[in-house]
Chains A and B, each alone.
Chain A
Amino acid sequence: MKVYIKTPARLHLGLIDLNGDLGRVFGGLGVAIDHPNVILEAEKSQTLTVSGKKVELTRKLATNFLEAYGLKEKVSIYVEQAIPEHVGLGSGTQLALAVATATARLYGVKASTNEFAAVMGRVAQSGVGTAVFEQGGLVVDAGKNTKDPAQRIIPLICRLPFPDEWRFVVAIPNVAKGLANEAEALAFKLLPPMAPEEVGKICRLTMMKLLPAVVEKDIKSFGEALTLIQSIVGDSFAKAQGGRYSSSTASKCIEFMMQIGAYGAGQSSWGPTIYSIVKNGEARELQVKTKAFLDSSIGGEVFVAKTNNRGAIIKVIK
């Protein structure tokens, strides 16, 4: 028996409440995209063996899972593809959940994806990555309950199918990687709380513009809401990242994509990944122009992604 898993990647569209005085803090908006992917195959084994990509991290994750569930048996994992690390595409959560889910299937461990995320230590700030793995589409999580510091599961509050005919043009400029792990936790600690008025703006933009636009497939309204939410969130992160976005290249590239016809644009998590949203037929041209724009300065990768509306693919091969 073998378990095959292919995960989506995650674009982060913004945080909701960086104040917390109503009892919840963070709360995130995210969307699942069809690539890059974590693709792995796992089978039962006498010894823990890992091959392919991200060998060391995968070994650590598998060890963690086997110990957490007291499994004496081991597992052999081949990581065929991985999502680039620390660029804002949610690689850590997808790999951790892929390892956990595959091992669980092999040994009949029954628990929810939320439970696996907690066991694998992926619930620090956000439930978005878990929801993306499980269901895909556009997701909103409830944020952390400030009265419950030991909270293990950050619940999903909204999940909508994301229009199949929309495309993200995703750019990863060749700049330093974004914050992760301890550096990220420290940055969150150092940030001044967002003013409640700013949080209110994000909330209203989410409920009265972004979410209805997804339901109604109105890309213009979606783009406007996204860009506004991104600018409010970005400005509140300025102290930690030195500006609205993670680098001046990111800022200029976002501006450029908007000028050449994107409906909305932003930065995923701490960057350096940025993205814009366009209709299917417009994506290729925007990709080519954005690539040329980046190549005229520091260079970088640019690709077109569509949404993943089903979450990770999990196949058990007998």
Chain B
Amino acid sequence: MSEHEQTSDPAGASGTPEPADETSRRNLLSTATTVAVGAGLAASYGTFFFYAGRYLYPASDTETAWLFVARTEDLDRAGSIEYRAPSGATIVVAAKGRGEYLALSSVCPHLGCQVHWEAQNERFFCPCHNGVFDADGQGTEGPPKGQSLLRYPLKVENGLLYIEVPVESLDVARLDKPGHDGCLRSRTDA
């Protein structure tokens, strides 16, 4: 019998059992197919969920920029001013003397509410959870005690004070928000 005739003979047609190597080859192929299908499913669904996760998770951090605040000599004279960043955030910028300056965020470090300056008590107060901060932004009472208001980076160049702040804002309808121009005012006027 030629080789061609041997291979073309259908398996089991003669009633003889399959050879052991035929069975093990079939098992190997079956296992390999299962693994390939499993790996393909894991890879395709994995890719899908990875892409979905990347889609859901925000892409970039908040954008910041260095912006001009005031001339240092003006700030030294005023003592402190309220600065409104393009994002809308209110920032207290104060002269500490000897060329040192401080820029305090109005966002409470406890849970993110807006603090406001109480001139009569010389303190910042957070109405959400009764947080109190002194004039330097140090938490003195309530849950944020021991924490401090966020300090924004400042730099002085040629007698001009610059601040690094977020530049994106939440565009809310129906609110007459002040623009970036004319956003400075003395804290004592607040």
The reply to whether chain A is a binding partner of chain B is no
Residues of A whose CB lies within 8 Å of any CB of B are: none
Residues of B whose CB lies within 8 Å of any CB of A are: none
